[in-house]
Structure 1
Amino acid sequence: MSAKYISALCLMACLSGYGQENTGPVTLEYCIETALQNNLDLKSSHLKANTARVNYRQSRFNILPNANASYNLGVTNGRSIDPYTNSYLDQRLTFSNAGLQLNFTVFNGFRLLNTIRQNRYNLQASEMEVREARQNLVLDVTLAYLQILNNRELLKQARARMETTGKQLERLGSLYKEGSGNPADYTDMQGQLALDKTTAIQAENSLKASVLNLYQLLNTEGTPNMAFAGIEATDTLQQYPLSAEEVLTDALANLATFKAKALRLDAAKNGVKVARAGYIPQVSIFGELNTNYSSAAEFLNETGTSVEETGDFVSVNGQEYPVLREETHHVGEAISYEDQFNNNLSSAIGLSVTIPLFNGFRARNNVALEKIKMEESRVDLENTTLQLTQAIEQAYLDMQSAYDRYHILTGQVKAYEESFRVNEVRFNSGVSNIVEYITSKNNMDNARIGLANAKYEYLLRVRVLEYYRGI
């Protein structure tokens, strides 16, 4: 078997598996995984965390010394200063200089250390906010998924209701054609069927809207799949095992939202310490290494001597004699670029102290602003705690209410189902009228709808409480 044939078979198998994977019903786990991969808000949270990570890393690197090198090369024309001799020249001059500077902060009021701590808390808060975004997304997807199942159940009941009404209409139609039925019963049943069809259309639209809402959270393209897998749940719902106080205790210990706010407060406290460093002198050590080059620089080589008249005279016995002097002759020789850089090398080392005397009250105002930010973070944390407590109490109350309604409506559904069974037999036998039949049927259908709503509301509230616990 050739390699090309084997590759073709593998490709067909992969495509076949891919197609099968996308033809089955959509599960909650698939929705959560897809949302975590595609949701833009979550991606934005990751980017913010990456920014905080870079800032934290840079604040640590700021402790290291600053080292900078410089190099210049240029040409001047006209009157200029020779960088080699510091004398004025009026000629074309090529110049160059190089330097190396080193600066190390010894003490600056612990500004660098407190900045590191502040950025570390900001990084941890950003990571918690990513976790918070993940938890929120998982909760939103789960609630949207449960809403789909609820609407699907309501659509199923609406269609069953319409089907039952349609069968009765067919029976009454046959009786009407045979002349033995009541024409009013037939037309009343037609009106009931129209009402059931309207209810089914509304339920179908609600289902489509909930599916669309879910796929918007998933941020996927293409036609939404309308087949969804159910969630395992017992026929009889069990009482939630925890109290509202226990849920709140777990939330304060585990919920990423609360942890992120607490870390932002810690970062703000260190921000105040960073601002207070503006009152304290800064001590640093510096060092420099410099050299330069000038095309005007040259060596003077001696080529000999000569006796020349100076232009002055001396008189001896009335006779004038010229004054002579011996002059040494030189020839200029350019100094090489490398030699000048070696010969002109200079260095410096020292200690620098910067004392803040007056800066327009900038330091004091910076401290005041950072204190305001700290108080804002504190209030934000307290507000988050308050909102969290109220949300948990409300969710727990709604969950308990849904649980109680579910068990009450369970008995109501059984009673109305039995009542409808009896009335249907009586109506088919001609003992009761259509008003009793429709009333009994509507009571049973409404009770079933209420039971389904109570069931899924309970599941929704339980998911919300588990979210608050950090699960």
Structure 2
Amino acid sequence: MDTRIIKIGFVICGMLFCTSNAQSQITLEDCIKIALENNLDYRGVTLDTKASEINYKQARQGLFPTVNFDYNLGQSSGRSLDPFTNDFINQELTFSNAGLRLNATIFNGFRIMNQIKQNRFRLYAAQMQKEETKQNLILEVTLTYIQLLNSRDALMLAKNRFQTTEEQLKRIQVNYNEGFGNPAEYTDIKGQLAIDRVGIINAENELNFVNQKLIKLLNTNIEEGSVVNSFSDLDTIKAYGYSVDNVYNDALNNLATFKAKQHSIDAAKTSIKVARSYYMPNIGLFGQLNTNYSSIAETFQDTGMLIKETGDFVRINNQDVPVLRNETQFQGQRIGYSDQFDNNLNSVVGLSVNIPIFNGFLAKNKVSLQKIELEQATVDLKNTKWLLKQAITNTFNNMEAAYERYHAFKNQADAFKESYRINKVKFENGVSNIVEYIMSKNNMDTSQLNLNKAKYEYLLQVKVLEYYRGL
């Protein structure tokens, strides 16, 4: 086979491998997009919003009159009322009736108009609740993403610590096998290697936990290694440029939770107007178009005259002469189904007025309950503002503390790194003992872990503050 074909094949395979790796990389923006598409809680709130849209549409359609068509078909036997003649009969019959009814509200204390406003505010509140859930989901995904980066860096540091200790163990083991050096140094470094191994196990477990948390938010399986760092300036920690009051004022203007609660207050105010409409009279128009059918309904036609004896007699010339009479003869004919529906058609048009006089204090209690609901919504908004101010203050203090810790740990990490470098050289040249080396190494590793933790904690607190600002 031509070697050029083999080389081309390797190049193509390499390109496909790189392409597949590039496609599998997931950034923070990708995580947020996946979460908004798949997260079950967010989808549930979306369905609630659609339900509110339907309720608002239904409230608006309450302005239209109601039109209903009724149709019945049945069979009766025994004593019943003939729907055609309204006479009592005792026979089997088939009956049917149909009716078209229209009802229209003219005035009911503006109840329908206020119900429309009420459902409109509820729709606005539902939309803001959906936006609030979206903001919370984005924040939670972002924080979990940052925790994942932190856990992954902690695992990398734990592996580096293990590798460094393992290299020292190999160097000391050579002297130990040849009978040189202090045997205690060999066992001490083996013990340190076991400690470092436990550190890797703990770091891997924490990373798996955070990765599963991210999978739950995204509602889809992702590989931890596919998540890439989207923060280009992660190692550049700058002081936060906003105060607590700045963040709080921005939160009041931008967070969807406050808009949702304000719309709930507006809906509660309108609910009071709806409840007060039960004090007012109801005026409406109604109309009906009815007809019916009976299987025994008949029409009769004159078929001629018939002379019949009455059973009476008159005496004429001392002779009994029977009394005769003329009797008209009729022939019955069943009336057809469609003919009866046309012949029995009747219509009704009227005006209805319903004036509430006493209804068991129903209207009064409805108004009282709606006033309580308004007060609850107002208190809820005030409480949310108060809790938010506290949360922002706590987050701001944690952010400042993390900023200070970061710089303190940075100075500490630089100092312990130099100390470790010196002790490593002294230990490898036999000038210092294993205790000093391990202590110096642990100090450097711990300071690096603390520095890394403070960096991600600062970033996490900043992202929370940016969320409060509505970004």
Superposed pair shares fold, TM > 0.5? yes
Segments of 5+ residues of structure 1 without an aligned counterpart are: 1-12
Shift of 1:207: 1.4
1:167 matches 2:167: yes
Structure 2 counterpart of 1:295: 295
Structure 1: distance between partners of 2:136 and 2:17: 32
Q: 1:59-208, aligned counterparts within 5 Å?
A: 59-208=59-208
Shift of 1:311: 4.7
Compare 194-203 and 41-50 and name the one that shifted more: 194-203
Structure 1 counterpart of 2:237: 237
Per the alignment, do residues 315 and 19 of structure 1 end up closer, same or farther by CA in structure 2, a change over 3 Å counting? Answer: farther
Structure 2 counterpart of 1:224: 223
Shift of 1:93: 2.2
Q: 1:352-363, aligned counterparts within 5 Å?
A: 352-363=352-363
Structure 2: distance between partners of 1:332 and 1:343: 17
Residue identity matched to 1:224? E
Q: Deviations over 1:339-392 (max 9, x none)?
A: 222222111111111122222323322222222222222222222211211111
Per the alignment, do residues 22 and 175 of structure 1 end up closer, same or farther by CA in structure 2, a change over 3 Å counting? Answer: same
Structure 2: distance between partners of 1:138 and 1:196: 36
Structure 1 counterpart of 2:50: 50
Structure 2 counterpart of 1:3: none
Segments of 5+ residues of structure 2 without an aligned counterpart are: 1-12
Shift of 1:329: 2.6
Shift of 1:173: 2.7
Structure 2 counterpart of 1:7: none
Q: Deviations over 1:33-54 (max 9, x none)?
A: 2222221111111111121111
Shift of 1:312: 5.0
Structure 2: distance between partners of 1:75 and 1:197: 89
Shift of 1:427: 2.5
**TM-score, length of structure 2 as denominator length:** 0.89
SS in 1 for 2:25: coil
1:247 matches 2:247: yes
Structure 1: distance between partners of 2:421 and 2:95: 109
Compare 121-130 and 179-188 and name the one that shifted more: 179-188
Structure 2 counterpart of 1:433: 433
Give RMSD over aligned pairs: 2.5
Per the alignment, do residues 29 and 310 of structure 1 end up closer, same or farther by CA in structure 2, a change over 3 Å counting? Answer: same
Compare 24-33 and 109-118 and name the one that shifted more: 24-33
Compare 265-274 and 312-321 and name the one that shifted more: 312-321
Structure 1: distance between partners of 2:292 and 2:109: 38
Q: Deviations over 1:293-325 (max 9, x none)?
A: 223332222222345554556678988766554
Residue identity matched to 1:145? Y
Q: Deviations over 1:166-215 (max 9, x none)?
A: 22223333333444423333332222222222222211221122112211
Q: Deviations over 1:392-433 (max 9, x none)?
A: 111111111111211222222212212222222233333333
Per the alignment, do residues 109 and 21 of structure 1 end up closer, same or farther by CA in structure 2, a change over 3 Å counting? Answer: farther
1:259 matches 2:254: no
Q: 1:16-35, aligned counterparts within 5 Å?
A: 20=20, 24-35=24-35
SS in 1 for 2:393: helix
Structure 1: distance between partners of 2:215 and 2:295: 74
Structure 1: distance between partners of 2:226 and 2:441: 29
Per the alignment, do residues 25 and 332 of structure 1 end up closer, same or farther by CA in structure 2, a change over 3 Å counting? Answer: closer
Structure 2: distance between partners of 1:90 and 1:216: 73
Count of aligned pairs: 456
Structure 1: distance between partners of 2:326 and 2:23: 112
Is the contact between residue 315 and residue 321 of structure 1 (CA under 8 Å) also seen in structure 2? yes
Structure 2: distance between partners of 1:361 and 1:259: 35
Per the alignment, do residues 146 and 290 of structure 1 end up closer, same or farther by CA in structure 2, a change over 3 Å counting? Answer: same
SS in 1 for 2:233: coil
Is the contact between residue 265 and residue 378 of structure 1 (CA under 8 Å) also seen in structure 2? yes
Structure 2: distance between partners of 1:198 and 1:338: 93
Per the alignment, do residues 234 and 329 of structure 1 end up closer, same or farther by CA in structure 2, a change over 3 Å counting? Answer: closer
Structure 2: distance between partners of 1:373 and 1:209: 42
Structure 1 counterpart of 2:392: 392
Structure 2: distance between partners of 1:295 and 1:446: 100
SS in 1 for 2:352: strand
SS in 1 for 2:439: helix
Structure 2: distance between partners of 1:126 and 1:108: 28
Structure 1: distance between partners of 2:449 and 2:152: 11
